Amino acid sequence: MNRILIAEDEARIASFLEKGLRGSGFVTAVARDGVAAHDLAAGGGFDLLILDIGLPLSDGFTVLRRLRQAKVALPVIILTARDSVTDTVAGLEGGADDYVAKPFAFEELLARVRLRLRAGRAPEATVLRVAGMSLDLRTRRAYAGGRAVDLSTREFALAEVFCRHPDQVLTREQLLSHVWGFDFDPGSNVVDVYVRYLRRKIGADRIETVRGTGYRLRAG
């Protein structure tokens, strides 16, 4: 089981990442400042580092530079502000393997985490199949009942979450955090709206409403 170190000082984002990654089968630890992040990452025991640039005590650039100078080959995904091209370029040139711009949807980060962990292992399935529906994660094409289905980016992300958790009840909060990211409004009805869109395209009987809880994709 892969262990991921989250270097993030903002409690809300750190909690969001921990919950999502643990729910996806990873073991996590959190470092709240750059000094702790460096010491934990350099000490081994982790398979990947998610590194925020704006850490206290020692910023993300410094942490990354010190790790690479010490020949620590741990894959690093940096978190940066969406409009900070300079930070993104500096991070990649400093030895980061990838970046995710804030705010982000969890599925975007998860895809990048899996990509960085894939090296040296058997390739992960790129087509998800559940009960006559399939999603091709590389081409972003969807099929249901033997026909191609045109899904928007959000609809595809929602369908992917359901297909990765067949027959599992997913709460609205879980779906919000996975598809819309940490910067969502808990009182929004956007999940219900997009489930309705998805039902129209893949079949109303595939997604079951669990009253008072959320939704479940029927696998059989």
Whether 201 maps to a domain, the answer reads yes
Give me the torsion for CA of 19, 131, 124, 113, rounded to 10°.
-20
Q: Is residue 48 a part of any domain in this protein?
A: yes
Domain that holds residue 23: 3-117
Structure tokens at 140: 């972003």
Q: Is 109 within the bounds of a domain?
A: yes
My answer on whether 18 and 80 are in the same domain is: yes
Count Cβ neighbours within 10 Å for each residue of 86-100 and write b for 16 or more, e otherwise. ebbebbeebbbbbbb
Question: Both 15 and 109 in a single domain?
Answer: yes
CB 143 within 8 A of CB 203: no
- Please give the model's pTM, rounded to 2 decimal places: 0.63
Burial of 46 (0-12, 13-18, 19+ CB in 10 A): buried
Final residue in a domain of this structure, among 98, 117, 136: 117
Let me know if residue 83 belongs to a domain. Answer: yes
Q: Are 85 and 59 in contact (CB under 8 A)?
A: no
* pLDDT by 10s per residue, the chain, length 220: 688 999 999 999 999 999 899 888 898 999 999 999 999 999 888 899 999 999 999 999 999 999 999 999 899 999 987 567 777 777 788 889 898 888 888 888 998 999 888 754 545 567 889 988 999 987 889 999 889 999 998 899 899 889 988 998 988 887 887 777 655 666 778 999 999 999 999 998 999 999 988 999 998 7
CATH of the domain at 133: 1.10.10.10
Q: Are residues 112 and 132 in the same domain?
A: no
Q: Are residues 142 and 112 in the same domain?
A: no
How many Å is the Cα radius of gyration of the chain?
19
CATH number of the domain at 49, please: 3.40.50.2300
124 burial type by CB count under 10 A (0-12 exposed, 13-18 middle, 19+ buried): exposed
Task: Give me the number of domains the chain comprises.
Answer: 2
State both tokens at 24: 């996806």
Residue 122 lies in a domain: no
How do 76-81 and 48-52 pair as beta strands? parallel
